[in-house]
Amino acid sequence: MAATKVAGKRMGMPEIKRKAKALGIAPGKMKKVELIHTIQGAEGCTPCFGRSNGQCSSTDCCFMSDCLKTRI
């Protein structure tokens, strides 16, 4: 299942946790990056959040706007 893009909108933790729960993931006390990587894996995507160095070809990713500004 591919991620759904939300154009230009950054997702907060409550929204990320809802998405995780919808995928059957128990977010518990996971940090944001760890949780997003887990979601990406569950969706069949590469867990690449924060590793793009400002460039990404996955334009359908719902985390893209946040990802491009995050460095891990």
Asked if residue 42 belongs to a domain, the reply is yes
Check whether 4 has a pLDDT greater than 60.
Answer: no
Asked if residue 19 belongs to a domain, the reply is yes
Asked if residue 72 belongs to a domain, the reply is no
What domain count does the chain have?
A: 1
- The domain containing residue 26 runs over which residues? 13-67
Q: Model confidence over 12-60: pLDDT tens digits?
A: 999 999 999 999 999 999 999 999 999 999 999 889 999 888 788 887 8
**Cα 48-50-56 angle, rounded to 5 deg:** 65
Check whether 8 has a pLDDT greater than 80.
Answer: no
Q: What is the CA radius of gyration of the chain?
A: 11
